[in-house]
Structure 1
Amino acid sequence: MRPAILIHGPTASGKTELSIQIARKYDGEIVNADSMQVYRDLKVISARPDEAEMADVPHHLFGHVPASERYSTGQWLEQARPVIEAIQKRGKTAVVVGGTGLYLLALTQGLSEIPPVPEETRHEVLEIAKSEGVRGLKIRLQAVDPEAAARIDDNDRQRLSRAYEVWLATGTPLTSFQSKRSKPVLNEDEWLGIALTPPRAKLYSRIDKRFEGMLMEGAMEEARQLVAQDIDPDLPAMKAHGMPWLSAFIRGEIDAALAAENAKRDTRRYAKRQFTWIGRQFPFWPRIPSTEIPTRMRVVSALYKEVDR
């Protein structure tokens, strides 16, 4: 069985291009590990690989979920497991690529079995976040789950909300569930993980240029179609990079220039948080700071020789 190759990195760091090159070299098939690229309605906004990029390499778990659904890490893991096993049975290399670190952790470390959180609880926590801010969430979480509060960044609204939701819904701290994990899909000797860590200035510039390109490729039209569906704005698909600001423009609340500038700013901030996440959650994954594909491929090839023995 060929070891899988896992590619992580911040948004716009070039994961798609590298994954295709790796799949071509190692007779691989690509498996999506990006929580936004699973959504059918977010082709442009999520920077999903286009038809040309997917033409000669099989791709899995891209664009198969309606934006009206709330897709979880547990669902992804349940779907990714048989896909990866099938790729391996065919004698090919599974290339798992994405910026959603929690997916990759679940794949290699297992996943905690956390009961589903009722929608009314989600809305309750959302209202708390709106009225008290992330600081208020942090204070509330410190009182009921100090371990989770200490581990989660002060500005990570999503993870703070998630931890507090779990406590409200179950009366049990999130850390109690996290100590009990399912068996990982990939054992320690069955995969190679790499993290792309390009220079911040280059990455931020690329983020800005990519968003401008998205607008030219139909991001605004895609956003209009989503807004027309009257989807709950609290669903994950409606929080994709730029989507809240494009929605505000479509509703006439802000002008186009402000929508674009805010979208770029928020995406840069998200990339910064991804760097922090990589540093904390993937401390032993080899880093590849180069932005050049030939250099990246040389590093991957050298590392893969060590695990594929």
Structure 2
Amino acid sequence: MSGIENSGRQTGKGRVKDAILIAGPTASGKSALALDIAERKGGVIVNTDSMQGYSVLNVLTARPSAAETARVPHYLYGHVHPSTAYSTGAWLRDVTGLIAEGALSGRPAVFVGGTGLYFRALAEGISDMPDIPPSVRERWRYALKEQGAERLHRILMREDSAAARQLRPTDSQRVVRALEVLDASGRSILEWQAARGQPLIDRDSALFLVIEPDRGELVARIDARFDQMLDKGALDEVRQLMALGLDPDLPAMKAIGVRELQAALAGQVSFAEAIERAKIATRQYAKRQTTWFRHQLGADWRRLRPGDGPAITI
């Protein structure tokens, strides 16, 4: 694995040379590390986290502050309305757009976030998916609302059992996506996924970093950060989101803290209970992220502890 000796220029086939990838569970300090490296190298930061791409959810997704984004250029933060079901493919197209615009030319590109599938797509490519006609999309979204995810999962099991076996019956977005693709193309979503696209980064010149914090330390960081979120206006963000009247199955509506605080605002639970539920949900999410990174990220990823940043030679 080479270090970062040259500027973040692009190489052939649209790939970004000398990219720096920083993965890690929520509240692990990866954004601070990205900012430190980007400042030292005169680079730019690209959001690689599915929730931080949504607007409105500034505090609850722990997006970089205005002061931080003023220090180095930040891309793909808060650019998607919560009414949109943003996907890995959509994110990859947005990164491709940044490359085409030259936003990642001439300086290192630091990709930072907690969404493992984004990193995999960036480094390995992702298959093209068929266009879904609006009529097909509307039909399955209506079916989801009327029949529920588990009923649609049974339909998928009948029509495409291999795809259904890879999905939880309650995973409404992915179940509907599999049915849409099958309906629109006549082919299983697994067939489409098997055909990999072109990676956007040059792996040989990239630096791969993943933060693996101590479990106890991470729990303390998560709890303290959620308290800070409340101080910074998390409740106001939930009120703004509720005012939009969005489908509760949309990804943005499932951001940790939204449902918990929404229940408190509705008087269904106390605020103390809502806060504790949100902290527990965040800990569980961080554990799933850590497990995914441990098993899915290969030997080319350098494992770090929080605070290791200054020791990294780049």
TM-score by length of 2: 0.82
The residue number in structure 2 matching 1:101 is 116
SS in 2 for 1:278: helix
Match for 1:63 among 60, 73, 78? 78
- Tell me how far apart the structure 1 counterparts of residues 172 and 250 of structure 2 sit (CA, whole Å): 15
Could you list the per-position Cα deviations for residues 61-83 of structure 1 after superposition, in whole angstroms to 9, with x for gaps in the alignment? 11112222222222211111232
Indicate how the Cα distance of structure 1 residues 11 and 94 shifts in structure 2: closer, same or farther if over 3 A, else same.
Answer: same
The residue number in structure 2 matching 1:207 is 222
Aligned-pair CA distance for 1:8: 0.9
The residue number in structure 2 matching 1:262 is 277
Q: What does 1:1-309 align with in structure 2 at a 5 Å threshold?
A: 1=9, 3-84=18-99, 86-89=102-105, 91-115=106-130, 116=132, 118-122=137-141, 124-125=143-144, 137=153, 162-163=177-178, 166-167=181-182, 170-292=185-307, 295-298=308-311, 300-301=312-313, 304=314
Could you list the per-position Cα deviations for residues 99-147 of structure 1 after superposition, in whole angstroms to 9, with x for gaps in the alignment? 1121121112111222347144245457766657xxx95x876666565
Aligned-pair CA distance for 1:280: 3.1
- Tell me how far apart the structure 2 counterparts of residues 159 and 297 of structure 1 sit (CA, whole Å): 40
Indicate how the Cα distance of structure 1 residues 73 and 19 shifts in structure 2: closer, same or farther if over 3 A, else same.
Answer: same
- Tell me how far apart the structure 2 counterparts of residues 21 and 155 of structure 1 sit (CA, whole Å): 40
- Tell me how far apart the structure 2 counterparts of residues 124 and 145 of structure 1 sit (CA, whole Å): 17
RMSD between aligned residues: 2.8
Greater shift, 114-123 or 147-156, is seen at 147-156
Indicate how the Cα distance of structure 1 residues 130 and 77 shifts in structure 2: closer, same or farther if over 3 A, else same.
Answer: closer
Q: Which blocks of at least 5 consecutive residues in structure 1 are unaligned?
A: 305-309
Runs of 4+ in 1 over 4 A off after TM superposition: 125-132, 139-171
- Tell me how far apart the structure 2 counterparts of residues 269 and 185 of structure 1 sit (CA, whole Å): 31
- Tell me how far apart the structure 2 counterparts of residues 297 and 127 of structure 1 sit (CA, whole Å): 53
SS in 2 for 1:37: helix
Greater shift, 62-71 or 221-230, is seen at 62-71
CA contact under 8 A between 2:59 and 2:234: conserved in structure 1?
yes
Aligned-pair CA distance for 1:172: 3.0
CA contact under 8 A between 1:87 and 1:93: conserved in structure 2?
no
Indicate how the Cα distance of structure 1 residues 196 and 147 shifts in structure 2: closer, same or farther if over 3 A, else same.
Answer: farther
Greater shift, 23-32 or 247-256, is seen at 247-256
CA contact under 8 A between 1:118 and 1:169: conserved in structure 2?
no
Could you list the per-position Cα deviations for residues 246-265 of structure 1 after superposition, in whole angstroms to 9, with x for gaps in the alignment? 12222222221221111111
The residue number in structure 2 matching 1:307 is none
CA contact under 8 A between 2:149 and 2:169: conserved in structure 1?
no
